[in-house]
Amino acid sequence: MSETTATALIVAAGRGARAGAGGPKQYRPLAGSAVIAHTLAAFLRHPRIDAVRVVIHRDDRDLYAEAIGALAGQDKLLAPVIGGAERQDSVRLGLESLHDPAPGRVLIHDAARPFVPADVIDRVIDGLDHADGAIAALPVFDTIKKADGADHPCIADTVPRDRLWRAQTPQGFAFAAIRKAHAAAAGRAMTDDAAVAEAAGLNVRLVAGSPDNMKITQAEDFGMAETLLGRRAVAYEYRSGHGYDVHQFEPGEAAILCGVAIPHDRKLKGHSDADAGMHALTDAILGAIGEGDIGDHFPPSDPQWKGAPSRIFLEKARDLVSARGGAIVNCDVTLICEAPRIGPHRAAMRGALAEILLVDLDRVSVKATTSEKLGFTGRDEGLAAIATATVRLPGEA
């Protein structure tokens, strides 16, 4: 049976001597946050990564805590573990720390590759449907020369390049297999985890990496990384969508609106919990990314959604945005009804929506109005909700 998710193991225990003075490169600032914060964010926001474990050097506990900042509050981010003398030791210790329960699949990634695209993570996970391992890699297009070993080297040979690939990370594996392979390889130095897998006889697939997935190795790489980030910043595009929903009142004890149960002498009638505010907002987000509406993703004809809490609809819309490498910029919901009174519950509603969308409170607005006793809302027969949402997506550039 194929699994759709994986745990990420981020290796951050290196000293980074080649990147020059200024401490380990993974903790140095890059466009306002530490290199490792960019790397962790890429995995934490990916919907198919269910947990992230970081392996750090024993001297770097404070550097790590400072570098990750607000990411520390994310449920997916496990406490860091301490690595060993060499990268291979750190990976082995990191793998051994993953138990209770052990993951089915693990993606091993270098902290110094902060720009790993979401689609590369998807391809590595998908590759594991077909092999024990799958690594991100790029075919070699430059002609490869082998040197003769002299102080002023000359060419000894030209290496045929037609089957050569450059290995990147993430490198993904069936967890139990790579854990065993690393235990067996302890003390024998190998340059990457795929080599450890190969030595154990595992088959490892090559899947397409990305030229953007650069490794920060030398001091000069920071300049190139800033340029790459700058190009990405201008390549973002912003999209908006709107949603509208109506539900009728029927006898009951509470109306659920924007995730908050408001005591009332009636409830909203519907197939799910009938949270019109959350439905309108879900449709607004789906509209912004051209993903249809709630009914397309959760058909009302399907009995499994009967009485369902509407947060699962909103979570789905949120995950579809993050699967594209996007983010929700802000949203605004207006509830239109004569009763119940919304005002006392607005703060709780904003909090509930912000918590589901994983955004700051000031990006979520909830407002209410009456319709001056006009129309179906004015006659108190039902409630209407309208919503707008703005999302940021990586551009096509």
Using CB under 5 A, which of the segments 26-34, 176-184, 261-269, 271-279 binds Mg ion? 271-279
Nearer to Mg ion (CB atom), residue 278 or residue 391: 278
Candidate segments 75-83, 218-226, 237-245, 284-292, binder of Mg ion by CB under 5 A: 237-245
Q: Which is nearer to Mg ion, 96 or 250 (CB)?
A: 250
- 385 neighbors 335 (Cβ within 8 angstroms): yes
Residue with tokens 């929506």: 353
CB of 78 to Mg ion, least distance (A): 37
Is residue 311 a contact residue for Mg ion (CB under 5 A)?
Answer: no
CB of 247 to Mg ion, least distance (A): 6
> Least distance in Å: CB of 371 to Mg ion?
18
Q: Token pair 């945005």 is at which residue?
A: 321
Q: Please tell me the distance from the alpha carbon of residue 389 to that of residue 329, in angstroms, as a whole number.
A: 8
Q: Which of residues 98 and 257 has its CB atom nearest to Mg ion in the complex?
A: 257
267 binds Mg ion per the rule CB under 5 A: no
**Nearer Cβ to Mg ion (106/268):** 268
Q: Which is nearer to Mg ion, 10 or 352 (CB)?
A: 352
Tell me: does residue 221 bind Mg ion (CB under 5 A): no
Q: How far is the CB of 274 from Mg ion (least distance, A)?
A: 6
Residues whose CB is less than 8 angstroms from the CB of residue 274 and which lie 6 or more positions away in sequence, other chains included: 247, 256, 267, 268, 310
CA distance 186 to 107: 19
The answer, yes or no, to whether the previous bond of 139 is cis (omega within 30 of 0) is: no
Greatest C-alpha distance within the chain? 92
279 in contact with Mg ion (CB under 5 A): yes
Q: Which is nearer to Mg ion, 202 or 317 (CB)?
A: 317
Give whichever of 340 and 382 is closer to Mg ion, judged by the CB atom.
Answer: 382
Measured torsion, CA atoms of residues 114, 116, 118, 123, in degrees rounded to the nearest 10: -150
The distance of closest approach from Cβ of residue 288 to Mg ion in the complex, given in angstroms and rounded to an integer, is 18
Any residues with CB less than 8 A from the CB of 104 and at least 6 apart, and which? 3, 6, 174, 175
Q: CB of 280: closest distance to Mg ion in angstroms?
A: 8
Burial, 312: exposed, middle or buried (Cβ in 10 Å; 0-12, 13-18, 19+)?
middle
* Nearest CB to Mg ion, comparing residues 112 and 276: 276
Region near Mg ion per CB under 5 A, out of 27-35, 83-91, 131-139, 274-282: 274-282
Q: Which of residues 142-161 bind Mg ion (CB under 5 A)?
A: none
Site for Mg ion in 319-378 (CB under 5 A): none
Per CB under 5 A, the segment of 30-38, 156-164, 244-252, 369-377 that binds Mg ion is 244-252
Q: Which is nearer to Mg ion, 221 or 273 (CB)?
A: 273
- Parallel, antiparallel, or unpaired for β 49-56 and 81-82? parallel
Smallest separation, CB 310 to Mg ion (Å): 8
Regarding 245 and contact with Mg ion (CB under 5 A), the answer is: yes
Q: Total number of residues binding Mg ion (CB under 5 A)? A: 2
The stretch near Mg ion (CB under 5 A) out of 137-145, 277-285, 306-314, 362-370 is 277-285
Cβ at position 267, least distance to Mg ion in Å: 13
Q: Are 288 and 389 in contact (CB under 8 A)?
A: yes
Write down the least CB distance from residue 283 to Mg ion, Å.
Answer: 9
Q: Which residues bind Mg ion (CB under 5 A)?
A: 245, 279
